[in-house]
């Protein structure tokens, strides 16, 4: 293999190892953070300052501003986050992504192999999942630096090439070319962290004089600005097919980086002097990696501080770029599920949870319609219930597929796997309640058809009131069960479980009352089968509500306070 091919494949191989290590470290960090990442969901919709901090924190864990932006786009599309809050989170994401460059700037070449070995030992020999996740993070950290070292080694011949140094000199003196180069590099690699790592390594090579950097800080900054622009393409691609606000969120990411780059390109010499002032002193090739990292951080922090007071203006700009209103989707389509979130299981499980709650509210409306069927002589109620049943059945299929894909992705921790299984059970029980509710409405429809044929079969007013009362109780149980699932309310779950005996007592009472009415001639004997069917369906609906509550209680701890909450609930 000639020298040119050796250099090209060495650079590409080093880049591949770096990206693999970065993705593996991101996965390990997410698993180590575990359900604590769920707390981020609680603060994402606060004021802009808190949103910026949340975005920075999330990106520091995910190791990718693009990943955070894709997550935010999913939340906006699902209606869980408003556009102004989403923009504030994206501003913070641009700060959080600079952590990778700061880590790379550390000179730990001599410690790479010990780090890889220690991480390997912990990852492969420890039995506890948390220890294995920590080992994976350490191992990936070493792999990441191995990729950086490989790229640095193969770049040394490039730094000595007159042709290459002349080309870099042109880029250095024409900032626009540097911006275009950085943009194209990131568009190809799809990772600003990777291209900035390449930039840091290349800038650390000595030029022809053997002392100065081959590119220098003023030559590196325009490429750095282009890297920031190029990273926005991932968000734009993720917004395809999403809601208008989701598209606006992606455009906001682009506007943020493009406007910042346009502003800073005019002040590169002064910006470079500021970065040199706040960075360590020493030979240029020894400190330029840190200088580039600091320039990356300073650019994003300054740009964020400039935009925070003008988020309202950003909203207007992106609304102008992406005009119009969203076409309201039919309720039969999933509102919260987003397959792009599979790599971020904490947030994916949250979206699945929200979709299940949405289904449950549809079922609650079905129960309400079934209650109406007890005293209304119209087939419209039956039609409404059937339509809702079809929607719930379809959504259940989508939820089941979404959670199954999460299992198949291999990104779930043991705790997350248990929670995903629990959500699968809950979704199934919600679907089964809708089946039973349809059965109740069906029996009422059949009785209406009998009456139209001249058969004088009718439930007494007392029977209708009793069945309506039992459905009302079941409706309340379902609402309590879903309050537990949606709001992590264990007291509501225990309330549902305690109502199981009450429901059984009420069912027995209804059976006895029906026998008494038969004796007195108040109910038609021909309706006993229909009455028993309705009663059985209602009993099953109540039991399924209890199943949901028990499945929720059986979930692994979300907040580490289960024992204390159990005591309160009991």
Higher pLDDT pick, 161 / 232: 232
CA R_g for the chain: 31
- Summarize pLDDT for 248-257 with one digit per residue, the tens: 988 999 999 9
Looking up tokens 């509710």 gives 437
Which band of pLDDT confidence, cut at 50, 70 and 90, is reported for residue 567? very low
- Per-residue pLDDT of 275-300, as tens digits, reads 999 988 888 888 899 999 999 999 99
pLDDT at residue number 202:
82
pLDDT digits (tens, 9 = 90+) for 87-108: 888 898 889 888 888 888 887 7
Round the average pLDDT of the chain to a whole number and report it.
Answer: 81
Structurally, at CATH architecture level, domain 342-569 sits in: Up-down Bundle (1.20)
Residue 497 to residue 14: CA distance in whole angstroms: 57
332 or 408, greater pLDDT: 408
pLDDT at 303 over 90: yes
Give the end-to-end CA distance of the chain in Å, rounded to a whole number.
Answer: 73
**pLDDT interval class at 270 (50, 70, 90):** very high
* Claim: this prediction has a pTM higher than 0.85: no
Query: What does the pLDDT read at residue 149?
Result: 81
Output DSSP code: residue 161: -
Residues 104 and 289 sit within 8 Å (Cβ to Cβ):
yes
Pull the structure tokens for residue 504.
């059984």
Give the three-state DSSP class for 213: strand
CB crowding 286-301: b at 16 or more within 10 Å, else e:
ebbbbbbbbbbbbbbb
Least confident range from 112-121, 164-173, 224-233, 292-301: namely 164-173
Beta bridge partners of 206: 213
Question: Considering the chain, what percentage of its residues have pLDDT values greater than 90?
Answer: 24
Check if the beta carbon of residue 547 is closer than 8 Å to that of residue 424: no
What pLDDT is stored for residue 216 in this prediction?
A: 85
Per-residue pLDDT for 451 more than 60? no
Distances (CA, A) of 66 to 100, 264, 276, 340, 534: 13, 22, 28, 12, 53
Q: Are 231 and 63 in contact (CB under 8 A)?
A: no
Length of the chain: 570
pLDDT recorded at residue 568: 33
**Contact (CB, 8 A) for 22 and 144:** yes
- Residue 561's pLDDT band (cuts 50, 70, 90): very low
Residue 453 predicted with pLDDT over 50: no
Q: Name the token pair of 360.
A: 């449950």
The larger pLDDT score, comparing residue 560 to residue 392, is at 392
Instruction: Specify the higher pLDDT residue, 492 or 371.
Output: 492
- Which residue in 249, 230, 231 sits closest to 240, CA to CA? 249
pLDDT of residue 161: 64
- CA atoms of 535 and 523, how far apart (whole Å): 15
- Give 44's pLDDT tier (boundaries 50, 70, 90): low
Query: Is residue 222 very low, low, confident or very high in pLDDT (cuts 50, 70, 90)?
Result: very high
212/300: higher pLDDT: 300
CB-CB contact of 255 with 318 (8 Å): yes
Give the mean model confidence (pLDDT) for residues 21-29: 79
Tell me the per-residue pLDDT of 375-413, one tens digit each, with 9 for 90 and over.
555 566 677 788 888 889 999 999 999 999 988 888 788
Residue spans per domain, the chain = 3-321, 342-569
User: How open is the CA angle 194-288-169, to the nearest 5 degrees?
Assistant: 85
| Separation between Cα atoms, residue 60 and residue 22, nearest integer Å | 12
**Which of 16-20, 104-108, 167-171, 269-273 has the lowest average pLDDT?**
167-171
Does pLDDT of 84 surpass 70?
yes
Q: What is the pLDDT of residue 562?
A: 36
């Amino acid at each position: 293999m000639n020298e040119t091919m050796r250099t090209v494949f060495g650079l590409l191989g080093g880049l591949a190892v770096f990206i693999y290590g970065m993705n593996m470290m991101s996965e390990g960090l997410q698993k180590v953070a575990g359900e604590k990442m769920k707390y981020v969901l609680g603060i994402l919709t606060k004021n802009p300052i808190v949103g910026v901090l949340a975005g920075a924190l999330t990106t520091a864990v995910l190791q990718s501003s693009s990943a955070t932006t894709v997550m935010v786009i999913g939340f906006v599309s699902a209606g869980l986050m408003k556009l102004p809050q989403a923009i504030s989170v994206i501003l913070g994401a641009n700060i959080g992504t600079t952590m990778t460059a700061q880590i790379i700037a550390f000179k730990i070449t001599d410690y790479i192999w010990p780090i890889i070995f220690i991480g390997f030992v912990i990852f492969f020999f420890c039995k506890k999942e948390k220890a294995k996740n920590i080992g994976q993070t350490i191992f990936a950290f070493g792999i990441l630096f191995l990729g950086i070292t490989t790229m640095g080694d193969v770049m040394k011949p490039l730094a000595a090439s007159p042709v290459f140094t002349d080309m870099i000199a042109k880029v250095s003196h024409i900032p626009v070319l540097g911006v275009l180069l950085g943009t194209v590099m990131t568009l190809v690699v799809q990772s600003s962290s990777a291209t900035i790592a390449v930039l840091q390594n290349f800038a650390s090579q000595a030029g022809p004089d053997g002392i100065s950097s081959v590119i220098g800080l003023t030559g590196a900054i325009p490429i750095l600005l282009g890297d920031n622009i190029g990273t926005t393409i991932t968000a734009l691609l993720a917004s395809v097919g999403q809601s208008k606000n989701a598209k606006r969120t992606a455009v906001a990411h682009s506007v943020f980086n493009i406007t910042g780059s346009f502003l800073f390109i005019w002040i590169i010499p002064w910006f470079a002097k500021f970065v040199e002032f706040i960075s360590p002193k020493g030979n240029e090739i020894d400190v330029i990696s840190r200088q580039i990292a600091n320039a990356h951080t300073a650019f994003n922090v300054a740009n964020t501080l400039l935009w925070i007071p003008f988020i309202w203006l950003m909203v207007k700009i992106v609304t102008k770029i992406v005009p119009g209103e969203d076409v309201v989707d039919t309720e039969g389509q999933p509102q919260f599920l987003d397959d792009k979130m599979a790599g971020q299981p904490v947030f994916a499980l949250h979206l699945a949870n929200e979709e299940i709650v949405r289904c449950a509210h549809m079922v609650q409306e079905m129960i309400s319609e079934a209650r109406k069927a007890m005293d209304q002589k119209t087939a419209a109620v039956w039609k409404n219930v059937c339509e809702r049943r079809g929607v719930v059945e379809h959504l259940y299929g989508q939820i089941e597929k979404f959670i199954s894909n999460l299992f198949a992705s291999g990104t779930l921790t043991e705790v997350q796997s248990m929670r995903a299984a629990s959500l699968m059970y809950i979704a199934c029980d919600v679907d089964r309640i809708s089946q039973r509710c349809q059965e109740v409405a069906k029996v009422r429809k059949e009785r209406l058809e009998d009456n139209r044929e001249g058969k004088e079969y009718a439930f007494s007013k007392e029977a209708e009131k009793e069945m309506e009362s039992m459905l009302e109780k079941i409706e309340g149980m379902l609402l309590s069960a879903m309050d537990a699932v949606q709001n992590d309310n264990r007291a509501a779950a225990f309330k549902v479980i305690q109502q199981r005996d009450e429901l059984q007592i009420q069912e027995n009472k209804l059976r006895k009352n029906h026998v008494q009415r038969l004796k007195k001639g108040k109910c038609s004997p021909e309706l006993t089968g229909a009455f028993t069917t309705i009663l059985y369906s209602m009993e099953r609906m109540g039991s399924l509500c209890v199943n949901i509550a028990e499945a929720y209680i059986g979930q692994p701890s979300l907040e580490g306070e289960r024992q204390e909450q159990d005591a309160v609930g009991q």
